[in-house]
């Protein structure tokens, strides 16, 4: 018996070494942690339970029968994050470059199946050279099996991908279908075709970092939600995100202890909006003053900065926030901001996370580049996302809410439950000057008359009371009481139920 136990421990030690000490040292030399070190940082201490440690590939072509490392390049299993169950896989670049084989893919699929059956998030730590060329179509089939599970799990359990090394070719499509993608600066990249192929086909000369690095995907493409300095920071942020999310679509987000008064009065909010309607202010200041302990987890911070998305807690409960940012492009809606916000709204609706919308929007961004780029269809995505959502929704208009953008930003007409406005709010088709120039175009050459018409329009419409008279605004509130009013609104909506017509699924304007 002793010999058997010793043999077991020896096998385990060999498996834990992955590709061997030399390759582990090389991984560290690149500033990267090993697959197992990452798992230890991700999970609560002592909670890691591994599956399929001794699985090896079955390929016998190209001399592969002589290379059969235990685990086949991926560490899989389950554990806890702050006491809550999660499933994970962590690709091991020290073993055959973390390449995906048939058995490697089966290990990942097994974990994803278990995550869905048991209603727990799945976290993928990606560090792979791509498909294992020696296995050919078997490797491609393995990828497709993973893709199918990503699709089946979508809206059922949260899926989080962390790109911690290369992720190229077909491998990028699994993370692309997950709910959140994090990257590590200077050591991770994602692209469908690498720099060499790009040069061959298009004659473009580009580096891997420029083509698919963390900066590219967080600032330009919006593929990634955030980028962090190193593996340690990325994994810490994953733990923080998981803490905000429900385990699955049938459970609410975890309720955490809070040390902040729900009825806290914030006198500084009375002067947040400047007296000059064209002067910007930072909407993040409002978000931080509404959330418990001023904590805000922002999503896609570096992309489409004219809109803000992320999570706060109110009375210890997770709330998704969508807010126009007057500091950037005056907070207008455009193609990028519409896509960013629409995806976030749909995620919140999938997992019963209430949505708070903070509105200061002068309209949609005009111009040929926007029209040619399809701003109509992209703007409709956000409209569709809000109109389809059945979670509790509270909307606050702080200043401008003009034109179609007023409708789109969780207006009463899109089934928002509570619609508040500050006294500084303006709900109108457009700004007073533009409206007067159209209505009174006969006086366009008379500055005095036009100024008077503009003043008359402002007196009539540059306030929230016309909308309140129609019942489109439920209440005009004092800014200082905003946290109290919003907290009470969400508390009253905790048992909200909505019946919708049966359908297989809608056809969102993609």
Show which residues are catalytic.
Answer: 169-170, 404-405
Coil vs helix vs strand at 308 = strand
248 vs 119: CA distance, rounded Å:
5
Q: How far is CA 1 from CA 11, 13, 394, in A?
A: 15, 19, 65
Coil vs helix vs strand at 388 = helix
**SS3 per-residue string spanning 226-271:** EEECCHHHHHHHHHHHHCCCCCCCCCCCCCCCCCCCCCCCCHHHHH
DSSP string computed for 20-55:
-HHHHHHHHHTT---HHHHHHHHSPTT--EEE-TT-
Chain Cα centroid distance, residue 40? 24
Question: CA triplet 331, 336, 339: central angle to 5 degrees?
Answer: 105
Given a contact cutoff of 8 angstroms between Cβ atoms, the answer to whether 79 and 44 are in contact is yes
313 vs 259: CA distance, rounded Å:
11
192 vs 170: CA distance, rounded Å:
7
Q: C-alpha dihedral over 71, 74, 77, 80, to 10 degrees?
A: 140
358 vs 32: CA distance, rounded Å:
40
269 vs 266: CA distance, rounded Å:
6
Task: Match 């909505």 to its residue by tokens.
Answer: 498
Given a contact cutoff of 8 angstroms between Cβ atoms, the answer to whether 199 and 219 are in contact is no
Tell me phi and psi for residue 183, to 5 degrees: -130, 165
195 vs 210: CA distance, rounded Å:
9
422 vs 463: CA distance, rounded Å:
9
Please, which residues have CB within 8 angstroms of residue 454's CB and are 6 or more apart in sequence? Answer: 432, 433, 436
Q: Which letter, b or e, does each residue of 313-349 get, where b requires 16 or more Cβ atoms within 10 Å of its Cβ?
A: bbbebbbbbbbbbbebbbbbbbbbbbbbbbbbbbbbb
Residue 120's closest CA among 146, 157, 83, 160?
157
Residue 189 CB: number of other CB atoms within 10 A? 25
Q: C-alpha dihedral over 281, 287, 290, 294, to 10 degrees?
A: -110
């Amino acid at each position: 018996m002793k010999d058997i136990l010793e043999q077991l421990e020896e096998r385990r030690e060999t498996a834990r070494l992955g590709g061997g000490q030399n390759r582990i040292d090389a991984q560290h030399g690149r500033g990267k942690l090993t697959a197992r070190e990452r798992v230890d940082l991700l999970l609560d201490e002592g909670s890691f339970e591994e599956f399929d440690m001794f699985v090896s590939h079955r390929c016998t072509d190209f001399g592969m029968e002589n290379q059969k490392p235990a685990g086949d390049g991926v560490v899989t299993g389950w554990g806890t994050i702050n006491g809550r169950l999660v499933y994970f896989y962590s690709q091991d670049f020290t073993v055959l470059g973390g390449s995906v084989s048939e058995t490697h893919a089966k290990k990942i699929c097994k974990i994803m199946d278990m995550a869905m059956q048991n209603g727990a998030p799945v976290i993928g730590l990606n560090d792979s050279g791509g498909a294992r060329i020696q296995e050919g179509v078997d490797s491609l089939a393995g990828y497709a099996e993973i893709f199918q599970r990503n699709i089946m799990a979508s809206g059922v359990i949260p899926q989080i991908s962390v790109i911690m090394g290369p992720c190229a070719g077909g491998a990028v499509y699994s993370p692309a279908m997950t709910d959140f993608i994090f990257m590590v600066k200077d050591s991770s990249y994602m692209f469908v075709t690498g720099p060499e192929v790009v040069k061959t086909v298009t004659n473009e000369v580009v580096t891997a970092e420029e083509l698919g690095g963390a900066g590219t995907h967080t600032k330009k493409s919006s593929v990634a939600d955030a980028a962090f300095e190193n593996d340690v920071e990325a994994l810490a942020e994953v733990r923080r995100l998981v803490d905000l999310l429900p385990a699955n679509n049938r459970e609410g987000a975890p309720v955490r202890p809070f040390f902040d008064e729900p009825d806290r009065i914030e006198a500084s909010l009375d002067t947040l909006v400047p007296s000059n309607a064209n002067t910007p202010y930072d909407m993040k200041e409002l978000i931080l003053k509404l959330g418990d302990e001023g904590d805000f987890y922002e999503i896609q911070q570096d992309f489409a900065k004219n809109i803000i998305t992320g999570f706060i807690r109110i009375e210890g409960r997770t709330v998704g926030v969508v807010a126009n940012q007057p500091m950037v492009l005056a907070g207008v809606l455009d193609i990028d901001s519409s896509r960013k916000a629409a995806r976030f709204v749909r995620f919140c609706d999938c997992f019963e996370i209430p949505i708070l919308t903070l509105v200061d929007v002068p309209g949609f961004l005009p111009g040929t580049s926007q029209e040619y780029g399809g701003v109509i269809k992209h703007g409709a995505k956000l409209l569709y996302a809000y109109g389809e959502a059945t979670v509790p929704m509270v909307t606050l208009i702080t200043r401008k809410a003009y034109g179609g953008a007023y409708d789109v930003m969780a207006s009463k007409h899109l089934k928002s439950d509570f619609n508040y406005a500050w006294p500084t709010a303006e709900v109108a088709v457009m700004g007073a000057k533009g409206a007067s120039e159209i209505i009174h175009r006969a006086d366009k050459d008379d500055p005095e008359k036009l100024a008077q018409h503009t003043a008359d329009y402002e007196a009539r419409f540059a306030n929230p009371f016309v909308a309140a008279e129609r019942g489109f605004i439920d209440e005009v509130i004092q800014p200082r009481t905003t946290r109290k009013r919003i907290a009470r609104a969400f508390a009253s909506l905790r048992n909200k139920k909505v019946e919708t017509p049966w359908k297989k699924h809608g056809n969102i304007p993609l």
